[in-house]
Amino acid sequence: MNLFPTVLISAIVLVILWASTVSLCQRYQQCRQMLPFFLIIALAWWSMPLAKIFWLDEIFPPADAIGHEAMARDTASLLDHGNVSDALANVSPGNSGYRFALGVFYFLTRSPEYCTYLLNGMLVFLGSLVLLQALMSCAPLARVSLWMVLLLTATPSALFWTTTNLKEGAMFWCGSVLLATSLRRENSTPKMIFLDGLAMMTGLAFRPHIAAGWISAIGIHAFLRDRRFGRALLLVLALAGATQSLQIASPTLFEGLVSDGATETMDNFYTTRTNIGGSAIAYAGGSPTPIVSGLILLLARPLPTELFGSLDLLAGIEIWIISGIALFSILRHPNPLSLLKEPPIMVSLIALVFFSIFFTGMYNMGLMVRQRVQILPALLTLAVYPTLSARAFFRALADQRQRRGAQPRLNISTELAPGFLQKPLSHK
């Protein structure tokens, strides 16, 4: 292990995690009492790559990560020898895009794979903070609880599947930033525009179909909310870019979607791949039902009857808790139907519908659990925001009642009967 870049990047990541956490808690008063918990969670994210390198990778070998690492090292070697054209020869959206970006990182830093683990984990934690900040801006009066902090920043599947050499960490960050962008109320600063553009480019380069889901949801919400045609047009152009990226990354899938439609294509996708791996997904009718099967996968599976190992058990418990909290929070909201008009809920629901189309063709339970991490920003929003919205509602209602109760008592003599106390009473 190259010691200098390892120590340097580890220190930089630790400082970024600490500074981002402190900045958030200083900016939002409702988070200040949670600062110790935020710092402990940030330290856990910083420490998890060590556990993966020295322990967990031996128990759960990262098969896909091995391929990413080998190809990225080949790219770094080509760049090191000045063969830029050869390094760029096979670059395309998807795995190739991720491996090329990773190879450039290795070429510039000479760092070991451990640093990739660190950076991917850092992106998830920063994405969680961005998402929390966006949700608090939509419900500024709401108090933040410890369970919200834990749910948003310390989800076990995210902690396990992103602190490694996979694309899930970058895609979680991409989804969080894009979702936060759709909820932003203030004017965008140059920094915000840069981060939005970087998140969109990251999604298009690494997982174009996931980026297409987020962009579609944001575009539909922007048009329905305020008929801003300029923003909608910009997002249409981004969606066109995502479509082109999907065509390059997976031409067979793209051609099927165009010629046969999403339903038949994802059904064929499932049928031809259902025997790959050791944890095939089974459906009651023998094949998945479009959208419905995808939503069930996203919100409820694996079920207790289809657990293939300890990771499936943990993933099942996690998604049951998230979905249960979401359902409970929505039902106990003072006006559940009004949540459908609130931007966090609207964007998340639209995004889930788009993602369910792709998840309909998911054929392997382990792969589904891993790739669901990319969708967690939408799922966590559905779990956390209804409670924030309810608390903001009751806080505003209490303040309103307090103002109404105080003002009439002060002005009752002059407002209800002007001059009443100035005139002497006559007793007849």
Q: What is the mean pLDDT of residues 335-345?
A: 90
Closest CA to 236 of 219, 255, 252, 251: 219
> How far, in Å, CA of 374 to CA of 207, rounded?
10
pLDDT tens digits along 299-313: 998 887 776 677 778
Closest CA to 299 of 246, 348, 238, 263: 348
Closest CA to 347 of 219, 210, 160: 219
Q: Does residue 340 surpass a pLDDT of 70?
A: yes
Q: What is the mean pLDDT of residues 170-198?
A: 85
Q: Does residue 424 surpass a pLDDT of 50?
A: no
The per-residue pLDDT for 256 is: 55
Tokens describing residue 39? 């710092």
The per-residue pLDDT for 253 is: 53
| SS3 state at 185 | coil
What percentage of the chain exceeds 90 in pLDDT?
Answer: 45
Buried b (16+ CB within 10 A) or exposed e, 218-234: bbbbbbeeeeeeebbee
Distances in Å between the Cα of 159 and the Cα atoms of 140, 153, 180, 318, 320 are 28, 9, 21, 12, 17
pLDDT tens digits along 264-305: 555 555 555 555 555 677 777 677 887 888 899 999 988 877
Own/partner pairs for 328-337, CB < 8 Å, 24+ apart? 329/383, 329/384, 329/385, 329/386, 329/387, 329/390, 330/382, 330/386, 332/386, 332/390, 333/386, 333/389, 333/390, 334/390, 334/393, 334/394, 335/393, 336/386
> How far, in Å, CA of 119 to CA of 114, rounded?
9
Buried b (16+ CB within 10 A) or exposed e, 265-275: bbbbbbeeebe
Q: What is the mean pLDDT of residues 77-104?
A: 91
Q: Does residue 403 surpass a pLDDT of 60?
A: yes
Tokens describing residue 71? 């190809």
The per-residue pLDDT for 311 is: 78
- Tokens 């690494």, located at residue: 206
